[in-house]
Amino acid sequence: MTIVLGITGSIAAFKAAGIASQLVKNGHSVNCVMTQAATEFITPLTLQVISRNPVLISLEDEKQAWKPGHIDLADRADLMLVAPCSAGTIGNFANGLAPDPLSSIYLATKAKILIAPAMNGKMWLHPATQRNVAQLKEDGCQFIGPEGDGMLACGYSGPGRLMEESIIIEHAEKIISNQ
């Protein structure tokens, strides 16, 4: 199966390497798509080596083929997994905005969508974020997490932590096996 693994700007972005690695070990073709902010937390090269595929970060990266890379990935995807997913990306998805390849793939794909949020607890609980999450659920997206309580990178304790990698992978595998 082909999985588009979206990685957004969150301190939890480093966990995407473990998720990508396990999905590849499970026999999936993993194509990583990063927001520019994600590159501040983990390098594209790390994800490229682990996934064995080029990493898409910018629409400028798509000059190699006649068909735009984000459309090709959207067409080939069996699952789009965004882990970690920031409040900004949730907002882009919910409002149909496409400022980057990840949001463009979201708008163009017919694949199942699994979103694993990770952010500050105040951001997660904000009414705007919750409205956006409700909209995405109405649109058919599935969510896993965030964890309800724990120490966050920002020093606060509360909701917002990325779910454990093994739980995210298990949920992704269930979605794929039901197709």
- DSSP calls for the chain: -EEEEEE-SSGGGGHHHHHHHHHHHTT-EEEEEE-GGGGGTS-HHHHHHHHTSPPB-SGGGGTTSSS-HHHHHHHH-SEEEEEEE-HHHHHHHHTT--SSHHHHHHHH--SEEEEEE---HHHHHSHHHHHHHHHHHHTT-EE---BSS-B-TTS-BSS-BPPPHHHHHHHHHHHHHT-
Percent of the chain at pLDDT exceeding 70 = 89
Residue-number span of the structural domain to which 33 is assigned: 2-177
- Residues carrying an active site annotation: 154
pLDDT of residue 37: 97
The pTM of this model reads: 0.93
pLDDT at 70 (0 to 100):
82
CATH of the domain at 147: 3.40.50.1950
**Is-contact 129 152, C-beta < 8 A?**
no
Domain count, the chain: 1
pLDDT digits (tens, 9 = 90+) for 101-144: 999 999 999 999 999 999 988 899 999 999 999 999 999 999 99
**Which pLDDT band holds residue 157 (cuts at 50, 70, 90)?**
low
Model confidence at 152, pLDDT cuts 50, 70, 90, reads: low
